[in-house]
Amino acid sequence: MRKKGIMLCSLVFATITVSVQGKELKPNDHYMCSWGGGTAARAQELKLSGISLYAARQKIQTYKFAKTWMRMMAMGITEQTYDSPSRLKPQAVRKIFYEDCVRYKVARK
């Protein structure tokens, strides 16, 4: 019974946290976190397939980006992904990146 109560409290707290995060973030912050998560997932995909960091950088240089800040941010995210010893699946990396980014944006406000 006690375990169920703790689990229920954790679930309620997580739900409240997510709803507070959603209310405090600007649409641009959601976009940036989502875009960064996708970039991290693509970098992890390249890393797991055996493509070198150099080749991944070259690939980024060929992409067309909508905003000027995106190219350098993509380079940084890719380098951090390659520096990590993580062997997680790209979808897990996307989710973790997004959640950490949202947490950072909320804490910054």
Range of the domain at 42: 26-108
Does a structural domain hold residue 5?
Answer: no
18 vs 70, more confident: 70
User: Is pLDDT above 60 for 7?
Assistant: no
Does a structural domain hold residue 46?
Answer: yes
* 15 — pLDDT class (breaks 50, 70, 90): very low
Q: Which of 6-20, 28-42, 48-62 has the lowest mean pLDDT?
A: 6-20
Does a structural domain hold residue 93?
Answer: yes
User: Which tens digits make up the pLDDT trace of 60-104?
Assistant: 999 999 999 999 999 999 999 999 999 999 999 999 999 999 999
Does a structural domain hold residue 16?
Answer: no
Does a structural domain hold residue 30?
Answer: yes
Does a structural domain hold residue 37?
Answer: yes
Give the number of domains in the chain: 1
Does a structural domain hold residue 97?
Answer: yes
Does a structural domain hold residue 15?
Answer: no
| Long-range CB pairs of 98-103, under 8 A, 24+ apart, other chains included | 98/33, 98/34, 98/36, 98/37, 101/32, 101/33, 101/36, 101/37, 102/21, 102/25, 102/29, 102/30, 102/33, 103/21
Q: Which of 11-15, 37-41, 43-47 has the lowest mean pLDDT?
A: 11-15
